[in-house]
Homo-oligomer: A and B are copies of this chain.
């Protein structure tokens, strides 16, 4: 496939490299910032451009790997295109691409950092398209780089995104609160790292309902009171401790 990549952030970088390594031709990399466009374009043997007027109108696929707020600006600025136009945003409907005949979503469901290489094969890619032909193209592209390809609707993708906020963003914030608490006690975050890895690995084989441990899940009132005394008046720790402890108890009752 001849692909034009719009964007130069984490998703654009990892996705561009994976598609390039799978044998696809990245024709151009567009970014508002020409230096970013050139930097990524060199990695995937493409041309770097910063003007939408220069966009190659004969490409097969246009991938908009942009922040949610830049997405609308770029869509309005694009000319009519015969190729398939897709975005990579978790919480944006496919409908924002209505002005294009062939449209879709190509959503790699992972958190990306620029400095860390990822194994794209292990990343679920969730696709959606406006028509059967486009769906086939996106499924093909996805299968070239990932072993786990699923078709999900815009509604499901939105729900998946909310779930990811809990399982990734909120989880990371729990790590942060633990880190802050340890610092306050003169203890190193290193001490808790084995526990963090083990907690994540457990739910690879068991359901989170089965792996729940701790004072809230066994309703150990003595330990909970001890902890609340230690955290008294210290926000956000006390509020978070109370709410999540109550929520664990409620979940335990639901089973």
- A residues with a Cβ closer than 8 A to B are 68-69, 91, 109-111, 113, 116, 118, 122-124, 126, 148, 150, 152, 155-156, 158-182, 184-187, 189-204, 207-209, 211-217, 220, 222-223, 226-227, 230-231, 236-237, 239-241, 243-244, 246-248, 250-251
Contact = CB atoms under 8 A, between A and B. Distances in A.
State how many copies of this chain the complex holds. Answer: 2
Given A111-B195, A123-B194, A214-B168, A243 B239 contact: yes
Contacts of A68: 220, 222-223
A181 B165 CA distance: 11
Nearest to A165: B214
A208 B175 contact: yes
A30 B68 CA distance: 61
A48 to B, nearest CB: 26
Contacts of A170: 174, 240, 244, 248
Given A91-B223, A174-B174, A186-B156, A200 B196 contact: yes
A203 B194 contact: no
Given A159-B185, A176-B209, 5 more contacts: A111-B202, A163-B182, A169-B212, A171-B171, A172-B208
A212 B172 contact: yes
Nearest to A248: B173
22 contacts: A109-B195, A111-B202, A124-B194, A152-B187, A159-B182, A160-B185, A161-B227, A162-B230, A164-B192, A164-B214, A167-B178, A167-B196, A168-B199, A171-B175, A172-B208, A172-B211, A172-B214, A174-B174, A175-B208, A196-B203, A197-B200, A236-B246
Contacts of A217: 169
A222 to B, nearest CB: 7
In this complex, which of A198, A215, A250 has the most chain B Cβ atoms within 10 angstroms of its Cβ?
Answer: A198
A110 to B, nearest CB: 6
In this complex, which of A111, A200, A231, A236 has the most chain B Cβ atoms within 10 angstroms of its Cβ?
Answer: A200
Contact of A110 (B110, B173, B194, B215): B194
A162 B175 contact: no
Nearest to A126: B191
